[in-house]
Amino acid sequence: MLGSLAGVLFDGLAYGMLLFLLSVGLSVTLGMMNFVNLAHCSFAMVGGYVSVSLMNRFGWPFLATLPMAFLAAASVSVLLERGLYRRLYRASDLDQCLLTIGIVFVSIAAYAWLYGTEQQAVEGFPPYLRGSLQFMGINLAAYRLFLVLCGFLVTAILVASLEYTRFGAKVRAAVDNQRMARGLGIDVDRTFMLTFALGGGLAGLGGSLAIEMVGLDPGFALAYLVYVLIVVSVGGLGSIGGSFAAAIVLGISDMAGKYYVPWLGAFLIYLVMVGLLMWRPQGLFGKR
Amino acid sequence: MPLLELRDVRAGYGDAVVLDGISLEVPEQGSLAVLGRNGAGKSTLLLTLMGFTRLKRGRIFFKGRDVSALAPHRRAQLGIAWVAQEREIFPSLSAEENLTVAAHPGPWNLERVFRLFPRLAERRANMGNQLSGGEQQMLAIARALMTNPGLLLLDEPFEGLAPVIVDELAGALERLDGMALILVEQHTELALSLTEDAVVLERGAIVHRARSGEFAHDAPTLERLVGLKIA
């Protein structure tokens, strides 16, 4: 019983880390730039399919595809930002929702046409990530351990780059007061473009890491949008620490729900969300 | 060649025209007081220099270069620094980050602005929204200096501050070692004592030009144009 509890906690933590990686980019763009980007998981899907293609068609090792997934999703998000999103920065939330949900449907149709609608089977996934280790009597799947490490690493890098670098200060200054930031010589458009690229790239990384744990098909862009929005709203807009905490809480409660109260199953995550938001409507670490 | 030159500038917001036919020059190391009643277009003049208004006619030259069509951040990078009327400190940044976020290398660095405003050194770790009004104004001026500008634009820096803080700020402005500045101010007497030249704006046009030192003693004209109670 105790062993299974630890196992559930560990699996929940790994699942939470995956949710965190998928959603942290949205927390940055939605929370800091106030842009409602419902197509965030389409960027994740770009990363996922890039990894699948590189592995299956070109025989790349899985780890080498991760930076490419990041870069591809970041590039796609920059193209969309330059071409479409920036025109709607001052538009209403509804306009932003309509545009981005449209992009979701376009991306679903495009990937269904290119890759078919079935789940992608991955060949050549590295064996060292397939196995498991025993630790104090608990069975730890190697891949889940890897996800947890990735989550901590990304959190550390993000917090360091947004809180302690000059680039991060420029982003926060531009979000606080665009006109003053421009008046001091900060290139606000470029700053926002890079921020958007970072958010999109992280989604791509998340999408690529998600394949082995939850699978990949064209419905991904819509199916995971719900979870990502839950994580961001429970965590609090613009708070990286908040997204981290929320993703872990939601990941663990989802796993625990499926394991201990199967009749409630996947619904538990919504109850947790409702409870947390009634307790803290701004989210766990939300400022606004 | 003057540091800044405006030739027949007409500018405003959208279709509205606020400034019309403004021509003026500021030499290297020069200083200009911009006086006038509320709504005369004084703040709009500074916003036009930064590129935040719509320029409908005329040209603006800075360091001999036509900057009329440049985006605001490009003008700032060329060396025009703007201290906004509402101070507009970034609340999510600490005082020190406010200073360094847009800093440009040059003679003005953290050490030097802290020498100019010792209070800021004590408050460097505080967030921008935890400072008093006077401290925010010091921070706004110091933040502009950190960009190592060639020209400093100050929009009513003494507004709403206690007399002792006004004295401290005015003392600091006197110690800027000949940095060119344009000072928009309601405290006419103080503004004239800090500058070499002065212009008076009325309904978006320059109606009077004078040397600041002489203008300060021209009580009848001051009273007529600025509506002033000079002690």
Look up the CATH number of the domain holding residue B190: 3.40.50.300
pLDDT at B231: 43
pLDDT at B112: 94
Identify the band that residue B139 occupies on the pLDDT scale cut at 50, 70 and 90.
very high
Asked if the model's pLDDT at residue A31 lies above 80, the reply is: no
Residues B116, B44 share a domain: no
pLDDT at A2: 54
Measured between CA atoms, how close is A45 to chain B, in angstroms?
33
Identify the band that residue B228 occupies on the pLDDT scale cut at 50, 70 and 90.
low
pLDDT at A106: 95
Across A248-257, B109-118, B212-221, B222-231, the highest mean pLDDT is recorded for B109-118
A163 in B contact zone (CB under 8 Å): no
Residues B91, B34 share a domain: no
Asked if the model's pLDDT at residue B230 lies above 80, the reply is: no
Residue B166 lies in a domain: no
Residue B8 lies in a domain: yes
- Helix H, strand E, coil C: the string for chain A is CHHHHHHHHHHHHHHHHHHHHHHHHHHHHHHHHCCCCCCHHHHHHHHHHHHHHHHHHHCCCHHHHHHHHHHHHHHHHHHHHHHCHHHHCCCCHHHHHHHHHHHHHHHHHHHHHHHCCCCCCCCCCCHHHCCEEEECCEEEEHHHHHHHHHHHHHHHHHHHHHHCCHHHHHHHHHHHCHHHHHHCCCCHHHHHHHHHHHHHHHHHHHHHHHHHHHCCCCCHHHHHHHHHHHHHHHHCCCCHHHHHHHHHHHHHHHHHHHHHCCCCHHHHHHHHHHHHHHHCCCCCCCCC
Residues B39, B112 share a domain: no
Domain count, chain B: 2
Mean pLDDT taken over chain B: 92
Can you give the residue range of the structural domain that contains B128?
86-149
Asked if the model's pLDDT at residue A142 lies above 70, the reply is: yes
Cβ-count burial of A84 within 10 angstroms (0-12 exposed, 13-18 middle, 19+ buried)?
Answer: middle
Domain boundary among B102, B131, B149: B149
Residues B54, B116 share a domain: no
Residues B33, B2 share a domain: yes
Q: Which residue of B has its CA nearest to A164?
A: B97
Measured between CA atoms, how close is B136 to chain A, in angstroms?
14
Residue B188 lies in a domain: yes
pLDDT at B229: 53
Q: Are A249 and A271 in contact (CB under 8 A)?
A: no
Residue B167 lies in a domain: no
How many beta-carbon contacts under 8 Å exist across A and B?
65
Domain boundary among B149, B169, B190: B149
Residue B42 lies in a domain: yes
Identify the band that residue B156 occupies on the pLDDT scale cut at 50, 70 and 90.
very high
pLDDT-above-90 percentage for chain A: 42
Average of per-residue pLDDT across A17-46: 88
Report which residue type is found at A258: K
Identify the band that residue A30 occupies on the pLDDT scale cut at 50, 70 and 90.
confident
A164 in B contact zone (CB under 8 Å): no
Mean pLDDT taken over chain A: 88
**How many angstroms separate the CA atoms of A242 and A232, rounded?**
8
Chain A residues whose CB is inside 8 A of the B136 CB are none
Domain boundary among B100, B130, B149: B149
Average of per-residue pLDDT across B4-10: 96
Residues B1, B75 share a domain: yes
Average of per-residue pLDDT across B192-210: 94
Q: Which residue among A169, A175, A187 places its CB closest to the CB of B101?
A: A169
Residues B135, B196 share a domain: no
Average of per-residue pLDDT across A70-86: 93
User: What does the pLDDT look like over A176-232, one tens digit per residue?
Assistant: 888 999 999 999 989 988 988 998 999 999 999 998 888 889 999 998 999 999 998
Residues B18, B57 share a domain: yes
Residue B173 lies in a domain: no
Domains of chain A and any CATH numbers? 2-279 (1.10.3470)
User: What does the pLDDT look like over A210-225, one tens digit per residue?
Assistant: 988 888 899 999 989 9
User: What does the pLDDT look like over B23-58, one tens digit per residue?
Assistant: 999 999 999 999 998 889 999 999 999 999 999 999
Residue B163 lies in a domain: no
pLDDT at A6: 82
Residues B92, B132 share a domain: yes
Q: What is the ipTM of this complex?
A: 0.91
Least confident of A151-155, A188-192, A259-263, B113-117: A259-263
Residue B108 lies in a domain: yes
Residues B94, B67 share a domain: no
Measured between CA atoms, how close is B155 to chain A, in angstroms?
13
Q: Which residue among A166, A177, A186 places its CB closest to the CB of B73?
A: A186
Average of per-residue pLDDT across A161-190: 91
Q: Which residue of A has its CA nearest to B104?
A: A185
Chain A residues whose CB is inside 8 A of the B90 CB are 172-173, 176-177, 180-181
CB contact under 8 A, A173 and B92: yes
pLDDT at A263: 81
B38 in A contact zone (CB under 8 Å): no
User: What does the pLDDT look like over B58-85, one tens digit per residue?
Assistant: 999 999 999 999 999 999 999 999 999 9
pLDDT at A108: 95
| B157 compared with A256, residue with greater pLDDT | B157
pLDDT at A78: 93
Asked if the model's pLDDT at residue B195 lies above 80, the reply is: yes
Residue B63, phi then psi, degrees to nearest 5:
55, 40
Residues B183, B73 share a domain: yes
Residues B117, B70 share a domain: no
